[in-house]
């Protein structure tokens, strides 16, 4: 299997597994769009950056009480560098006609495929030992357990904000997604569910250090949000792009 095919399969794997917001990078307006991946991030450091961005999103979302209730998605993922795992997910993608665009916006559709993929991988003999070892710790203080996808390593639970924040700091958790569902908008610095001129103003303030985030995860998320045009540079052109898109 050549490098190009490996990269495409990895993109599909990550897009389906983390329909709730996970991706490794980040270009356009959605963290988990199939078109949003960049091969520069298909490595250990890139994955860590993707996880940090999602945790930053969740921390700000929790602060702003964006979602009512206490549902979160906790991810303790598979080894996506394993060629057999990638091949199995690629086959699932092809044989089940997964609509990546829909999976980004339709929560029920995303859940349907997460459940099917988890079962499919389990039947293919794929195991997630890391998730199984961590599961009791993840669920220990859950107020309610909604769903457990042990092969994918995805657990949807109700938890206090305090516990959600604590889980983000655990080495056995890759990320926690506030809301436990497909995010309303991942390019949203003020957490009002929209990307508009209010965000443009906040981006301007962030660029000139009027707004600062001491927390590393929030800082990485802010950098991601500020890169509106996807050129990996946060500057005034991103503000201009956002303003043009909203007039």
Q: What is the pLDDT of residue 37?
A: 38
Give the CATH architecture of domain 187-247. Orthogonal Bundle (1.10)
Tens digit of pLDDT for each residue in 18-46? 433 333 222 222 333 333 334 444 456 66
The DSSP result for the chain, as a single string, is --HHHHHHHHHHHHHHHTTTT--S---SS-TT-GGG--GGGSSHHHHHHHHHHHHHHHHHHHHTT-SSS-EEEEE----TT-HHHHHHHHHHHHHTT--HHHHTT-HHHHHHHHHHHHHHHHHTT---HHHHHHHHHHHTT-SEEEEEETTTTEEEEE--HHHHHHHHT-TT-SEEEETSSS-S-SS-TT-SS--SHHHHHHHHHHHTTSS---SHHHHHHHHHHH-TTSSS--SHHHHHHHHHHT-
Q: What is the pLDDT of residue 194?
A: 79
Tens digit of pLDDT for each residue in 85-118? 878 877 887 888 888 777 777 888 888 888 988 9
Predicted TM-score (pTM) of the model is 0.81
Q: What is the pLDDT of residue 108?
A: 86
Domain ranges of the chain: 3-186, 187-247
Mean pLDDT over the full length of the chain: 78
Q: What is the pLDDT of residue 46?
A: 65
Is the pLDDT at 134 greater than 90? The verdict is yes
């Amino acid at each position: 299997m050549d490098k190009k095919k490996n990269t495409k399969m990895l993109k599909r794997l990550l897009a389906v597994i983390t329909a709730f917001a996970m991706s490794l990078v980040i270009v356009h307006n959605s963290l988990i769009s199939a078109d949003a991946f960049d091969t520069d991030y298909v490595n250990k450091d890139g994955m860590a950056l993707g996880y940090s961005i999602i945790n930053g999103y969740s921390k700000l979302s929790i602060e702003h009480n964006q979602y009512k209730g206490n549902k979160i998605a906790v991810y303790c993922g598979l080894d996506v560098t394993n060629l057999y795992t990638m091949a199995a997910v690629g086959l699932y993608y092809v044989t089940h006609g997964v609509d990546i665009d829909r999976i980004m916006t339709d929560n029920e559709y995303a859940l349907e495929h997460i459940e099917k993929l988890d079962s499919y991988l389990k039947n293919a003999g794929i195991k997630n030992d890391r998730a199984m070892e961590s599961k009791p710790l993840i669920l220990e203080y859950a107020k309610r357990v909604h769903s457990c996808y042990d092969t994918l390593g995805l657990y949807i639970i109700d938890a206090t904000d305090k516990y959600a924040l604590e889980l983000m700091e655990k080495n056995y958790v890759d990320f926690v997604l506030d809301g436990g569902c497909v995010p309303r908008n991942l390019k949203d610095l003020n957490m009002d569910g929209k990307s508009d001129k209010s965000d443009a103003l906040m981006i301007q303030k962030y660029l000139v250090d009027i707004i600062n985030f001491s927390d590393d995860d929030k800082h990485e998320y802010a950098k991601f949000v500020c890169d509106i045009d996807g050129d990996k540079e946060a500057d005034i052109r991103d503000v201009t792009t956002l303003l043009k898109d909203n007039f």
